[in-house]
Structure 1
């Protein structure tokens, strides 16, 4: 059964994840619309990366369910979710450091292509999209930190996602590198890929995203348009700080 085009591409429905007595996410409910850029923000330990792990299939929720394009994927393993169109990056880049850049991206492309030759062609196209072609033959372990983050994005894009989860891909970048990263994310979204991004650099992320969801202590504290969220009293108290209120 195909999903109704008016339905959200992703629905997280009353999801809780507990590790023994520690609740990492509690009663999280949110919808992600097709084609939007959604910012997932909040203080360290708020449960943002845990929620990414739930969406991508690393963890299964203790309760609740996750729907992607109308289908219940709550119990599907990560590889199957990837085949269905969910890709992600990691907070700490996870490249195959002994392989070159092209080989790393080809690994991602093999999720969508049946032959090594077609996967390699797709990988080359992807490297061009992320402006990393000039480093195709470089060993991944020799890349700079910003290049490794871009390689993470390239490998995820090579899987042909419809939903892309970006975990702090702009963190630690210089202003010019962050500007290039923002331009890349906008280009990806312009192709119809839905983006959820975890980011701490508020000055960068808020002008970029269409909506923002704020997590605090594992729960949704606020969600809405960026301009609304940054004026929310609870968000200011829990995350932005009183200096933001004064500004």
Structure 2
């Protein structure tokens, strides 16, 4: 693996009984980039996210991260190595405060509550959630809960951050704040892979895009090249986009 490559999946296949969710998926993620993973519903994006994060193990193929084979490692070990993720449906601890939720992520790197709290406070400041630190998570608005997902993941001090539709369902102004946060994350030295359906937002944001369709890689390249690819237009964007 090249030193520039942080993550690589090699011919990864995942079967659920007779259903093949991913078939021979080979992708590379470069250090310091924002990579967009796009495609129609049922394309296999969420399955690939789960394979990278360790929620699923591949039926065949291998996954390498930061120079080592992680194919068989559980999610907890991958998190310790530097892979963090958010969820499409936020998974917060609603009876705990925002600060306590982010501290959960902080305990990945810090053994003491004092150190985890300090790290969590720094992340809350970075993500613009400081004013909600003492608020019960169940009282947050949906956009705040999405941002909290990012904050908790960042508290694990990742090298790679997997963002699962963190901009979906936001107003234009909320989405713009989300874009600015993702750029700050990348500028802090964290590589980002994001699944997103809002094309008008994601394409100007990402450095590269990979399109999945029916569990396989349909196209890969710069956003401008991908949206002009006839196969992508046919499978995902539609003829209206071509016009």
| Structure 1 CA distance for aligned equivalents of residues 109 and 49 of structure 2 | 22
Q: 2:223 corresponds to which residue? A: 226
Query: What is the alpha-carbon distance in structure 2 between the residues aligned to residue 145 and residue 43 of structure 1?
Result: 24
Distance across 2 between alignment mates of 1:100 and 1:192: 28
Distance change in 2, residues 1:4/1:22 (3 Å): closer
TM-score of the aligned structures, taking structure 1 as reference length:
0.97
Matching of residue 69 in structure 1 with residue 37 in structure 2: no
Counterparts of 1:5 and 1:33, CA distance in 2: 9
Gap change, CA 1:222 and 1:4, over 3 Å in 2: closer
Match of residue 204 from structure 1: 201
Could you tell me how far apart the structure 2 residues matched to 1:5 and 1:61 are? 24
Question: Within 5 Å, which residues of 2 pair with 1:67-216?
Answer: 67-216=64-213
Query: Where does structure 2 lack aligned partners over 5 or more consecutive residues?
Result: none
Matched, 1:5 2:7: no
CA-CA distance at 1:4 after TM superposition = 5.2
CA distance in 2, matches of 1:164, 1:133: 21
Count the aligned residue pairs: 243
Could you say what the CA RMSD is over the residues aligned between the two structures, in angstroms? 0.7
Q: Deviations over 1:96-133 (max 9, x none)?
A: 01101000000000001111100000000000000000
TM-score between the two structures when normalised by the length of structure 2: 0.99
What runs of 5+ residues in structure 1 fail to find an aligned partner? none
Tell me, in whole angstroms, the C-alpha distance in 2 between the residues paired with 1:143 and 1:128.
17
1:5 deviates by: 2.5
